[in-house]
Amino acid sequence: MRQMGFFSRRIDREIAAYQRELVDTHYQEVENMYRQIRGWRHDYRNHIQVLKALVANNDWEGVKEYLDELDTDLNTVDTVIKTGNSMADAILNSKISLAKSRHIQVQADANIPMKLRMSELDLCVILGNLFDNAIEASLALPEEKRLIRVYMDMKGTQLYISFTNFTAVAKRQKIGRRFSTTKGAGHGFGLVRIDNIVDRMEGYLSRNSEDGAFTTEILIPQL
């Protein structure tokens, strides 16, 4: 019994450490995104001066090229999704920005309340892990086949979360609520943390593996 208790406490400590690392990573990603936005705003006047100079010289081709460059640059920092919930916005936009930087297409549709029953930490852990796993799986595919679909909405009084990503592997064997994996311990801790949150909130979780695709669906009561 003592040995079991020792291993249980060790696992709890490792999960807690992984959770802190995960949250720190999310906040670093969000801070990086806002740093890019602040930098772009700081350069705004310089961009205007350059465009004025090009117009004064009737260099319309130069104007077009410069605007194209600005459009590309702005797309890297643009807030692409607004859910109605500030924490969800921060996590999703930082992860979408990360996915795009790795040439992964993301289709996201999310509409959730400003206030949720679940804590921001729990929301951060769930969304962060789901996105990180989807990004990792996508990187094994050619760029043109990389796709992550995210859908979030309220189903009555329950928050519904769905993540689907294309994969390079065949249908995997299911063990309980999870699937066999050759990935490291961090991956396993992330799944455990998601399961624990869903169980604590008396929610529902389903994972489905098919040839070339993986889907996770979660329902969490908010009353």
Question: What local confidence, expressed as pLDDT, does residue 121 receive?
Answer: 82
Going along the chain from its start, the domains and CATH numbers come out as 81-221 (3.30.565.10)
Contact 167, 139 (CB under 8 A): no
For the chain, helix (H) and strand (E) counts, in that order, are: 6, 7
Digit-coded pLDDT (tens) for 94-124:
888 888 889 999 999 999 887 888 988 889 8
Rounded percentage of the chain residues whose pLDDT exceeds 90: 33
Rounded average pLDDT per 10-residue block, the chain, 223 residues: 59 63 61 64 76 87 84 63 82 85 91 86 89 93 95 94 90 57 57 91 92 93 88
Tell me which amino acid residue 56 is. Answer: A
E strand segments, the chain: 105-111, 147-155, 158-166, 174-175, 178-179, 204-210, 213-221
Question: In what order do the strands lie in the sheet containing 204-210?
Answer: 105-111, 147-155, 158-166, 213-221, 204-210
Question: What local confidence, expressed as pLDDT, does residue 90 receive?
Answer: 80
Contact 85, 112 (CB under 8 A): yes
Contact 123, 222 (CB under 8 A): no
For the beta carbon of residue 206, count every other beta carbon within 10 angstroms: 11
Distance CA 64, CA 72 (A): 12
Question: What local confidence, expressed as pLDDT, does residue 145 receive?
Answer: 93
Contact 190, 15 (CB under 8 A): no
What distances in angstroms separate CA 169 from CA 68, 108, 111, 172, one per listed residue? Answer: 38, 23, 31, 8
